[in-house]
A and B are shown apart, each in its own frame.
Chain A
């Protein structure tokens, strides 16, 4: 070994010590994507002729107090990027997802991330433990298409972190886009990402929701509620009513809307009142042909489903978890505002509500023949 090679070795060792996380990158083009808050999704191509790329994302973990209902109930949340659910990432099959996960020193907990789309190391969970004041970079190859959940999974506290808000969705699209059962291309004009959370808020002796000074103080009471398996709130986008009123999702008659619905912890059953699922990947995985004309679809806890619907009629639609108790009493209701022209052929009020006329049926008041 020459003196020169020893020095080189020392230099390399020094470099490695200084930046131990710098692993060699595949020789592919790099793209950096800025994430947006749900229910919106960052701009992306649905089909691409380009080859695989390294797609870089960054998420900052934020522990914070949030309000989860109209009564002002406060909740100690843990979030990816400050939102419940965390933002949705979109890549294409064969791309490399490269996530920089930041845990600022303003936080109090260690965190990590388990991507259901990733292979090995507990979905990346074993390679991404970050304490407050640390960051980590994980790269994995997106080998399977579909909408997949990601969530925090720190040892010993996995469910608590997940039901405190730490979950989101990664969607891996086929490079040549979505297809129906016969291979015909499917496209969407808009995409919405509805993340559903089941929340477990402790109450005091009088039934009032309790508030806590810190996450740590909320832990044992919250775990006790969690173990009974009955959530106090089931919400879309982090709060009862977060996707209603001024924040209702919008569409126009004739537009095809993609709705990705994720639930990291508990089963749910999305349903569009007055509409349908034209093409539904109930399990969210695009290698399987979509089912057609569904009324309600089942999203298993720990997965994301995807549905395409072309709106045919204007008006207000409720998009609910069709366990209607959860939709109405616990909060799992969103609204779509759809503009356009009413189609009388699809539906019409033949005669308005009025007195009961015995023996008459139908528009012309035809007498019933005995």
Chain B
């Protein structure tokens, strides 16, 4: 287990009607407002994190460095994934894109959502509750997923014989047990030490982290070379990268890989005033600049 300090503040799941407009809630940071979903607040702590993206040293691919990070403020995150019924409410409200063939069920996670759909939902639920909701970063996801986060250092592609790594990756992917592809009732895949359910089940979760290509200096310093926010990190049984408008990961994958089963998401809730202000600014910036 990565997180030793397990201070958790469970926020009761209260089904409440829409609160006042976002601005009002922004000014009442003390008591956590009622939310339509359960959230746990994780105390700050250290954790091990393998950086996302592709790394190279002197032009040769190398394994992504594993770092000791610190989550330096409390992280409030949904205990479960957003459900199909919740997403359907957002669609009904005209705020989320309608997704094909989703049967809205209260007890199952929404699947078949793209990164953009997830953002739309986060913005809508933020307006509904007056509390800022956003996707976690990849590091936050790993911090919250704790022992459920897999640190699978994939074999490095050696330019002299790239096929070795491809074959090794393929073997690893093929050996994975494949759970049933249909979304299962919330809680089916169990809870982790932090009380988050269904991590690493059959629904992968979007994160806000962009794909990055970086150079790793012998000193350990990382120098970003390319950042592509059209591709985001997706987390689950293993980490992968997905184009932001893809809803069905099976068709978003490449010809010869084994893709995730489903795409869904859970959200982080901003609790501190400063964080909320920052997130509000980010949202405004995003609205002005467009996604990605």
Contact = CB atoms under 8 A, between A and B. Distances in A.
Nearest to B226: A355
| Interface residue SS majority, chain B | mixed
B116 interface: no
Interface in A69-110: 70-72
| Interface residue SS majority, chain A | loop
Given A246-B174, A314-B164, A316-B167, A348 B256 contact: no
Interface stretch (B87-95, B175-183, B229-237): B175-183
B59 interface: yes
A73 to B, nearest CB: 10
- Give the interface size class of chain B: 20 to 34
B226 A313 contact: no
Q: Kindly list the 5 A-B residue pairs having the minimum CB-CB distance in the complex, ordered from nearest.
A: A315-B163, A314-B163, A245-B174, A342-B161, A318-B255
A344 B160 CA distance: 7
Interface of B: 56, 59-61, 101, 103, 159-164, 166-167, 170, 173-175, 178, 180-182, 213, 225-226, 250-251, 255-256, 258, 261
Contact of A313 (B159, B163, B173, B180): B163
Interface in A299-354: 313-318, 320, 327-329, 333, 335, 337-342, 344, 348-349, 351-354
22 contacts: A70-B261, A71-B181, A72-B180, A208-B101, A244-B258, A246-B174, A248-B170, A248-B174, A314-B164, A315-B167, A320-B255, A333-B255, A337-B167, A340-B163, A342-B160, A342-B163, A348-B159, A349-B162, A352-B60, A354-B225, A354-B226, A355-B226
A49 B225 CA distance: 65
Interface of A: 70-72, 206-208, 244-246, 248, 273, 313-318, 320, 327-329, 333, 335, 337-342, 344, 348-349, 351-355
Contacts of B103: 206
B59 A352 contact: yes
Contact of A354 (B170, B178, B213, B261): B213
Contact of A353 (B178, B180, B226, B256): B226
Nearest to B103: A206
A272 to B, nearest CB: 11
Contacts of B160: 342, 344
A351 B59 contact: yes
Contacts of B166: 315-316
Nearest to A317: B256
A353 B213 contact: yes
B226 A349 contact: no
A317 B257 CA distance: 10
Given A70-B250, A248-B170, A342-B163, 6 more contacts: A246-B175, A315-B166, A337-B170, A340-B163, A342-B161, A353-B226
